[in-house]
Amino acid sequence: MSELRWHPFLEEWVITATHRQDRTFLPPKDYCPLCPTKPGGFPTEIPRSSYDIAVFENKFPSLQTPAPLPSVGDTPISPVAPAVGRCEVIVYSPNHQETLAQMPVARIRNLISVWQDRYLELGKRNDIQYILIFENKGEAVGVTLHHPHGQIYAFPFIPPKIRQELSASRKYYEKHHQCLFCATLEEEQSDGRRIIFESERFIAFIPFFARYPYEVYLAPKRHLASIAEFTGADRSDLALTLKGLLMKYDALFGFSLPYIMVIHQAPTDGGDYPDYHFHFEFYPPLRTSNKLKYLAGCESGAGNFINDTLAEEKAAELRKVGPQTIAELV
Amino acid sequence: MPKNDSDFTKEKIRLPDGRELIYYDFNHETLPENSVKRSIKQTVTDEK
């Protein structure tokens, strides 16, 4: 059972999805549901014995179409609505052990093509207003399947964090006639201390206002609102920059770093968003090799992050490790 | 929105429980590391 329940104090929807309690949880490697189905073997979610990239509707979706009717009636202050939308799983590779950081650049580029295609296809739907592409990596961020994969949530509304960013971007644009993110990039490039890795078209940096010690933004240097606007050259350059950053993450503590990776881009609600800038946000949960950054009282209770580190120092750490040039990636 | 210029093929199937699954297959012959190398050694405008 899933439904949308309105939070009147925060003015945002909460998705309830009780069936997700029963989802597959850390199965043994031989019973991974995202591996190819081998002849005579255990039937996985993917019937073929080989594939490049596979995308399928999540077996335990938070959002789906048609959506079940809500389990309760609403009241004037507690609206409830069907959890319409779509949840997809993107399986990056048939290889169970591989991570995105380990994949060859050409195959990362393929994945970017799939992200672009999913954005274009799902974005055509009238009942979808926002497409969130993301990856949760590592048990530290709650991963239940280790096979390399990401997810897509196609929302029937614009999620609250995106609404906040859109509002801030619009306000800045109206006042300065410039994209807020482009202005931020100018500052970061001018300062230079927080930049981690860059290619001709993309740049990765720890933002001035980072909330997590190793939080990174990765964005196109020129103004692009969504992945729909990417050319083949953009996909190639993004693949290089993404691989460079992920290799640096893995080199940081000498193990495959857990992270949450999300793509923020223009909604697909039919609106015009000349003031919004496509970017990735990465939130690794670690503050040292063996200490987690918890979202405790201040963060969870007040919505205010306390970062125990300085972005300039953490960026210097990431700059030093892993690949130093694009040429090392191919 | 621009035309999709990717060189993949898509095959959509239905799983036994009715969910949709899409296979994306790429032509590795024409999407090799060479195109990536070119993008860093030269200007990338030729890939547009």
Residue A260, C-beta contacts closer than 8 angstroms, at least 6 positions apart: A134, A135, A136, A137, A141, A282, A283, A284, A285
Residues from A contacting B (CB-CB < 8 Å) are: 45-48, 51-57, 59, 104-106, 109-110, 113-114, 116-117, 120, 199-201, 228-229, 231-233, 235-237, 239-240, 326-327, 330
d(CA A48, CA A155): 29
d(CA A100, CA A110): 12
B9 touches chain A (CB under 8 A): no
Gap from B27 CA to chain A (nearest CA, Å): 10
Using a CB-CB cut-off of 8 Å, the residues of chain B touching A104 are 33
- Residue of chain A nearest B17, judged by CA positions: A59
Q: Tokens 């050259």 identify what position?
A: A233
User: What's the complex ipTM?
Assistant: 0.93
- CA B2, chain centre distance (Å): 15
The mean pLDDT of A145-151, rounded to a whole number, is 94
CB B37 to CB A330 under 8 A? Answer: yes
The mean pLDDT of A67-83, rounded to a whole number, is 94
Which residues sit opposite A131 in a β-bridge? Answer: A154
Q: Is A305 exposed, middle or buried (0-12, 13-18, 19+ CB in 10 A)?
A: middle
User: What is the tens place of the pLDDT at every residue in B9-46?
Assistant: 999 999 999 999 999 999 764 444 555 555 554 433 33
- Whether residue B4 has pLDDT greater than 60: no
B24 touches chain A (CB under 8 A): yes
CB atoms within 10 A of CB A306: 11
B6 touches chain A (CB under 8 A): yes
Residue-level pLDDT at A22: 65
The amino acid occupying position B20 is E
Residue-level pLDDT at A21: 62
Using a CB-CB cut-off of 8 Å, the residues of chain B touching A120 are 1, 4
Residue-level pLDDT at B36: 54
- Residue of chain B nearest A117, judged by CA positions: B4
DSSP state of B2: P
Catalytic residue among A7, A19, A146, A149: A149
Rg of chain A on CA atoms, in Å:
20
CB A52 to CB B44 under 8 A? Answer: no
Using a CB-CB cut-off of 8 Å, the residues of chain B touching A109 are 31, 36
A149 is catalytic: yes
B8 touches chain A (CB under 8 A): yes
The three-state DSSP-derived secondary structure of chain A is CEEEEEECCCCEEEEEEHHHHHCCCCCCHHHCCCCECCCCCCCCCECCCCCCEEEEECCCCCCCCCCCCCCCCCECCECEEECCCEEEEEECCCCCCCCHHHCCHHHHHHHHHHHHHHHHHHHCCCCCCEEEEEEEECHHHCCCCCCCEEEEEEECCCCHHHHHHHHHHHHHHHHHCCCHHHHHHHHHHHHCCCEEEECCCEEEECCCCCCCCCCEEEEECCCCCCHHHCCHHHHHHHHHHHHHHHHHHHHHHCCCCCEEEEEECCCCCCCCCCCCCCEEEEECCEEECCEECCCCHHHHHHCCCCCCCCHHHHHHHHHHCCCCCHHHHC
With beta carbons less than 8 A apart as the criterion, state whether A217 and A245 touch.
Answer: no
pTM: 0.93
Residue-level pLDDT at A126: 97
3-state secondary structure of B33: helix
CB B35 to CB A106 under 8 A? Answer: yes
The amino acid occupying position A12 is E
Using a CB-CB cut-off of 8 Å, the residues of chain B touching A231 are 2, 5, 47-48
- Whether residue A260 has pLDDT greater than 90: yes
Provide φ and ψ at B8, rounded to 5°.
Answer: -115, 165
- Whether residue A63 has pLDDT greater than 60: yes
- Whether residue A330 has pLDDT greater than 90: no
- Residue of chain A nearest B1, judged by CA positions: A228
The mean pLDDT of A3-25, rounded to a whole number, is 86
d(CA A279, CA A226): 9
Residue A162: closest CA among A225, A78, A90: A225
Residue A140: closest CA among A283, A245, A34: A283
B29 touches chain A (CB under 8 A): no
User: What is the tens place of the pLDDT at every residue in A3-12?
Assistant: 999 999 999 9
Residue B31, C-beta contacts closer than 8 angstroms, at least 6 positions apart: A106, A109, A110, B7
d(CA A143, CA A227): 26
Question: Mean pLDDT in chain A?
Answer: 94
Using a CB-CB cut-off of 8 Å, the residues of chain B touching A240 are 36, 39-40
Residue A91's Cβ-side half-sphere holds a number of Cα atoms within 13 Å equal to: 31
What token pair was written down for A309?
């580190």
B27 touches chain A (CB under 8 A): no
